[in-house]
Structure 1
């Protein structure tokens, strides 16, 4: 027996099969977007003083001797670049925490290199006349963009421009850079298209996710003249959700091998531009990115204010009660220490908690406690009409005697350490 399938059913089956295939392809594409080597985690930021771009060219009897002489020379040159006072090589060397090799070429008797010198901030601050504490900017989300061969690249794949920023040590910079790693879903969120958005809400959402207040966009436009040949770079600095232009400059590397060194120098140049803009007040956080400044209903604002006032009062009462309890404990300990072998009645200090559903019950409880024999003083420590209030009490006698005296006046007494809770 042969079953016939209506034409509309065959069309529906074909559409469902096509939709399933498209969904499977989309799922595979979306999964591929967050897999692979897509980001470079930034190095831990050091607060030491870094001086880069120190060029040395030294000859000696051996390659190792040339290297050692070059490193000592680089330390002196870096110290002079910082503007430090005249010191001996040994004094300068004592302040150096590390040497960073940016580029080096060695021969049998020659050493040519570009080095970075890192000075320990605590040791060098006294000579430099500053404590090392500098006022920094608000946290700035950094989005390094590479434009090359007609394409824009940020975190979609590992690239030299992002690596240069990830390896940069901004410890001495006044700009507080927030450098994403660009891994996993960050590569989908932080793209070149984001730099052209104008939606304040969208920007505020991204900045909140990274704990930043504003955004800086250093753009590197790289042009390879021919394979293995020079690389020309045009670098543009932009800022904020409106993509505000800050400045630009150009650099050139003689070959792709020299590209990382050029990009490292470009990073330092960008930092100088951002610091200058910070000093001029150009890269201050955009107030329109603060979603907390929107309007709020007056009734809701009043309720929030009242709630905050109640919480503040409760915290103040708790701190006051804790202090009084500590004082009472200290007084009791002192009395016990000084009253041994004395016939004078023991005087104790403690707290009595009692229910106060209304003002009448509050007044009645205070009057009854104060009228209890042996009570020498009773002051209100905490008032809570509709809840439980607290009295600070001084009593001539022991706690057992006070419990019996309160019980005779019709109270149920519960002990909580050195404090009492009474109820009818």
Structure 2
């Protein structure tokens, strides 16, 4: 029979390993401001000139998207318009995701990486308050369940088309549509996705490299209606699984609006946690009570999902508690609110702060 001493020692070794993971993860945030999936389509006298103009247009478009992400709507008019020379100096890199050239035309999807210091100096000239909403990409699996059952992943229907044409690039939750090819079908079946089989959905996060999967479900007859729209959201990082509230639409013609509403709710939910005030930064020493290894793993996962937490330093670690230093953006009150949204309770016990899962 294994002794309690053996169990405590083994658990402590595992906790140390997990502690190293959380510190590395929390400190692994990028130092740059990146705007992903900037799409351009430019025509010019020749392909070379079209490409040059396209890259410049991508810089302009990315700057506008960055302003939408970082500046409240009422303050945006106060920001001075940057000329092309200044834009070029603010951009550290342009990453080419996809590009296609034709005679006199350039079509591409680019990621634009900005220098934080130069961006803050530019925005500061307008005297505006700045925040940053960290994006949380999601993979969308649109499913249609009709009288005969759940349609295949690659079924081409009005619901899939509604998500394909939805523009989410500048939102807090940009979405990628599942391809539904053979590799996807090998990873998960339509039925597994419909019931929210977590192990099957997790296989897709490895392929698409998105931390969130949204299974968007329509139920009803494609021809007659009415239709019921709903689904579920699965977070591979935290393991959280939540339902998307159902609603009724009269017919397939209204599905694009239903997709917009679902995405708007997802976007709003994530923004409540992901909007970070980088002009205010502080640190906090906290105690994490540990009753079982799962407690620490759960807290580690949830802390890693909070953009306001800049870094986590494990100061001491024992079998029944961990002492952490949290470096974070914002105020202690803002940190408490955001951690609560992530399922964590931060409260003060006498002169010490205590952090635990709710």
Kindly name which structure, 1 or 2, has the bigger radius of gyration based on alpha carbons.
1
TM (norm. structure 2) is 0.36
Higher strand share: 2
TM (norm. structure 1) is 0.31
